[in-house]
Amino acid sequence: MEAQRLLSGFCSPSPIPNARTQYFVRFPSPSPSPSSSSSSSAASFAQSHRWVSFKARPLSTKLIQCRNTADTERAEVVVSSDKQDLTSGIRRKKLAVFVSGGGSNFRSIHEACLNGLILGDVVVFVASKQGCGGADYAREKGLPIMVFPKTKLEPDGISPADLVATLRGLEVDFVLLAGYLKLIPVELIQAYPRSILNIHPSLLPAFGGKGHYGMKVHKAVIASGARYTGPTIHFVDEHYDTGRILAQRVVPVLAKDTAEELAARVLREEHSLYVEVITAVCEERIVWREDGVPIIRSKENPNEYG
C-alpha cells in the first residue's frame, strides 16, 4: 500500500509499527579511541541509516543490533506502553495534523504537546503538497509525513482509502486541520465522526465557505466594515466551514487596519485558542448538548461550560 511505503522507517520490521508501543533508544557513548579516523565504528554507526533489525517487547528492556556496511553496534532500547496521565487516568491521545501552508498553528500544537500542555502527541503529518513549510518543520522533528490527496501535481499523494487505513493503523484519535485547504473526503469524515477539527480565521458563519481562506478572509472583513472578527474552531463535515462550532475568540477590527495587521492579530489568537481547545479535547472535556451543539467543560469547575 502506498501509504505504508511512505511511513516505513529504517528500523521497523513492518511498514506501519505498532502505535501502542513507544520506543526510546539510548545509544552507548563512543569509547575513546587512539585513532581520530571517521571510519571508527561509533562514528560510522552514528552516520549510517542502514539498520537491519529492530526488535523489542512492551514493558521490557532489550539489546538490539543495528548493522551498517562495516561494523556492528549495540544499543539499549527501553520500551513502554501508551503514556497515561496518572492523576486523571486519561490516556494520551494520538493526533494527526493536516497542513497546506507554513504550518504556524501546527508548530504551536506540536510544541504544546512536547511541553506537556496537551495530553497528546502528534504521530503523523499530512500535507496537501510536498513543498509546504509545515512539511519542512515535520521533517526536522522526525515526524512521519504523508501527502494527500493524490493529484497530477502531487503524484505521490495517497487515496482516501489509504489515508483512512493509515490513520487507523497509527490509531489516531483526532484529526486536526491547521491551514489545510482541501475538502476532507467523506471516507475520512465517516471514519472519524466528531473527531476532526478545523480552525478558520473569521467568526463563522461569516466569511466562510469555499474560497474564503488566508488573506482573502481578512480583506473581506475589512471591506465589509465589520467591527469584530476572530478565529473559529469547528468540527468538520462534508462541506467547507459548516460544521458545528466549538470555540471562538473575538478580535476587534481597528479603523486603520490593513489586512496584514489584522491577520497578525488574529493569528496570535489562533495559536492560543487552538491549543486550549485541543487540550480540552484530549482531556475528554467536550460535551454534546441534546440539540447537537458541542461545548467545553471547565477543567477547574466541571459544572461550568465555555
For the question of residue 200 being annotated catalytic, the response is yes
* Single-letter code of the amino acid located at 226: A
Q: How far apart are CA 19 and CA 120, in angstroms?
A: 13
Helix (H, G, I), strand (E, B) or coil at 178: coil
The size of the chain, in residues, is 306
Number of H helices, E strands in the chain: 8, 14
Q: Which of 49, 110, 200, 234 is catalytic?
A: 200
Q: How far apart are CA 2 and CA 8, in angstroms?
A: 10
CB distance 134 to 102 below 8 Å: yes
Q: How far apart are CA 276 and CA 62, in angstroms?
A: 39
Look-up of cell digits 493526533: 95
Residues with a catalytic annotation lie at: 200
